[in-house]
């Protein structure tokens, strides 16, 4: 795909998404998919197991939100 990308930002976002998929998954595979549609690049990162519970779907993108105390630590809040 041709585009203008901020390499640093793109790398940071991918690292965060991949690390979260590993950290919050249950040691299963992590799947990374890129799709191109006219004018857009869609990236998705999935841990194959341990999905986010449905009752948390509305809250997962709240700034700096964490669901479980044992995982408290530093992070970007994404």
| Global confidence as pTM | 0.61
* pLDDT band per the 50, 70, 90 thresholds, residue 1: low
Residue 2 has pLDDT above 60, yes or no: yes
pLDDT on residue 8: 92
Residues in the chain: 78
How far CA 26 is from CA of 21, 57, 62, 71, in Å, comes to 9, 19, 23, 14
pLDDT tens sequence across 4-57: 878 898 899 889 888 888 887 777 788 999 888 888 888 888 887 767 778 877
Q: Is 46 exposed, middle or buried (0-12, 13-18, 19+ CB in 10 A)?
A: middle
């Amino acid at each position: 795909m041709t585009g203008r990308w901020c390499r640093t930002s793109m790398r940071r976002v991918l690292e965060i998404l991949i690390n979260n998929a590993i950290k919050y998954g249950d040691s299963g595979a992590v799947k990374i998919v890129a799709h191109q549609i006219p004018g857009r690049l869609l990236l998705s990162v999935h841990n194959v197991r341990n999905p986010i519970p449905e009752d948390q779907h509305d809250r997962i993108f709240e700034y700096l939100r964490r669901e479980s105390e044992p995982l408290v630590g530093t992070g970007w809040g994404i």
